[in-house]
Amino acid sequence: MSDTIEKVKCLIIGSGPAGYTAAIYASRANMNPVLYQGEQPGGQLTTTNDVENFPGYPEGITGPEMMMQLQNQAERFGTDIRHGWVTKVDFSGEFHKVWINDEKEIHASTIIISTGASAKYLGLPSEQKYLKLGGGVSACAVCDGFFYRNQEVVIVGAGDSACEEAHYLSKLCKKVTMLVRRDEFRASKIMAERVKKTENIEILYNTETEEVLGDGQLVTGVKVFNNQTNEKHEIPATGFFVAIGHKPNTDIFKGQIDLDETGYIINAVPGTSKTNVEGVFVSGDAADHVYRQAITAAGTGCMAALDAERYLAAKDADFEVATSTYN
């Protein structure tokens, strides 16, 4: 073994609500966790302007401020938080091997994966502009729909998630315009029918977004075009929601642990954070394609740390029994 290899008891990969919560619990359990923040320190919440649905913040809080508080809390209990991201893993041996930035090699007794998932966007410059400004572009109706009460919004998407989010928005907003790229939904029949029967949802088929309009700070409308006739028009709106899916940040784990067909990590034992590899646990959106909320991510971060602590305790107990038997 090279002198440059570092051995740690608990390695946490990722720094969103799941990663930091796991770090808090692991630190308090004397597991001396090392946490690597990844390419986006703080995760998706760092792109969220206002968070009003996380318990404990009656006046709300900005996403970046909340993540800084979580980081400070993890550091207070002794978490070793580092910059850098994991570029390669090998879970085939007794120790779980991880490489940081293709250079540093770490061997960990336990690993907690908290790499999250990334929302898919259209990639339009105007969309990205107002997303970064926090001025009206969102990929989460449950997170941000409240801010558009009694207003008119546009949502892009045609699958079950898009229908679910459109229906959610319809309960809050004056009008929801749904842009469907094809001449039919990809969603299940029951979800599509629910949207079609909702009075304040207008569905525009064969319609795509050309530009998100705004005043430089806030969204004011959306310019769309019919991909069959090329006819263009503008839709007044204060919110632009994108519901075309998420991509779990799990590519580096392919071939190492079990993933489903879309790349989400599979919980080997339902109701736990365990993967199919002993000593490797998962928390947050890397395994959650249903809820995708900060509070649920934090909850699974707690679960992962507790599962990791129990795993280490059981190994220590087995070692003591084996030593006692040998003596």
Q: Give pLDDT tens digits for 223-234.
A: 999 999 999 999
Find the catalytic residue in 10, 143, 163, 173: 143
Q: Which two tokens stand for residue 317?
A: 């107990």
3-state secondary structure of 47: helix
Instruction: Looking at the structure, tell me whether residues 131 and 178 fall in a common domain.
Output: yes
Find the catalytic residue in 10, 144, 163, 307: 144
The whole-number average pLDDT for the span 145-160 is 95
Instruction: Indicate left, alpha or beta for 166 from its phi (over 0: left) and psi (-120 to 50: alpha).
Output: alpha
Instruction: Looking at the structure, tell me whether residues 127 and 237 fall in a common domain.
Output: yes
Instruction: Looking at the structure, tell me whether residues 128 and 213 fall in a common domain.
Output: yes
The whole-number average pLDDT for the span 236-253 is 95
Instruction: Looking at the structure, tell me whether residues 126 and 234 fall in a common domain.
Output: yes
Q: Is residue 88 part of a domain?
A: yes
Range of lowest pLDDT (3-7, 76-80, 168-172): 3-7
Rounded to 5 degrees, φ, ψ at 234 are -110, 145
Strands 34-36 and 80-82: parallel
pLDDT in tens, 168-197: 999 999 999 999 999 999 999 999 999 999
Instruction: Looking at the structure, tell me whether residues 169 and 157 fall in a common domain.
Output: yes
Q: Is residue 301 part of a domain?
A: yes
Q: Is residue 269 part of a domain?
A: yes
Q: How far apart are CA 63 and CA 47, in angstroms?
A: 7
Domain termination site, one of 219, 242, 265? 242
Q: Is residue 307 part of a domain?
A: yes
Instruction: Looking at the structure, tell me whether residues 18 and 128 fall in a common domain.
Output: no
Instruction: Looking at the structure, tell me whether residues 74 and 185 fall in a common domain.
Output: no
Domain termination site, one of 242, 261, 294? 242
Q: Is residue 51 part of a domain?
A: yes
Q: Is residue 1 part of a domain?
A: no
Q: Is 112 exposed, middle or buried (0-12, 13-18, 19+ CB in 10 A)?
A: buried
Instruction: Looking at the structure, tell me whether residues 128 and 211 fall in a common domain.
Output: yes
Domain termination site, one of 242, 269, 288? 242
pLDDT averaged over every residue in the chain: 92
Q: How far apart are CA 319 and CA 142, in angstroms?
A: 47
Instruction: Looking at the structure, tell me whether residues 144 and 70 fall in a common domain.
Output: no
144 is catalytic: yes
Q: What CATH number is given to the structural domain containing 230?
A: 3.50.50.60
Q: What percent of the chain has pLDDT over 90?
A: 81
Q: How confident is the model at residue 148 (pLDDT cuts 50, 70, 90)?
A: very high
Q: Which domain holds residue 138?
A: 121-242
Instruction: Looking at the structure, tell me whether residues 284 and 319 fall in a common domain.
Output: yes
10 is catalytic: no
Q: Which two tokens stand for residue 20?
A: 């930091």
What pLDDT is recorded for position 318? Answer: 58
Instruction: Looking at the structure, tell me whether residues 99 and 159 fall in a common domain.
Output: no
How many domains are contained in the chain? 2
- List the strands of the sheet with 232-236, edge to edge: 207-214, 219-226, 232-236
Q: How far apart are CA 36 and CA 83, in angstroms?
A: 6
Find the catalytic residue in 50, 80, 140, 302: 140
CB-based contacts of 296-299 (< 8 A; 24+ apart in sequence): 297/16, 297/17, 297/18, 297/21, 297/114, 297/116, 298/17, 298/18, 298/21, 299/21
**Does 124 have pLDDT greater than 50?**
yes
Instruction: Looking at the structure, tell me whether residues 256 and 113 fall in a common domain.
Output: yes
Q: How far apart are CA 60 and CA 73, in angstroms?
A: 18
163 is catalytic: no
**Does 41 have pLDDT greater than 50?**
yes
Q: Is residue 310 part of a domain?
A: yes
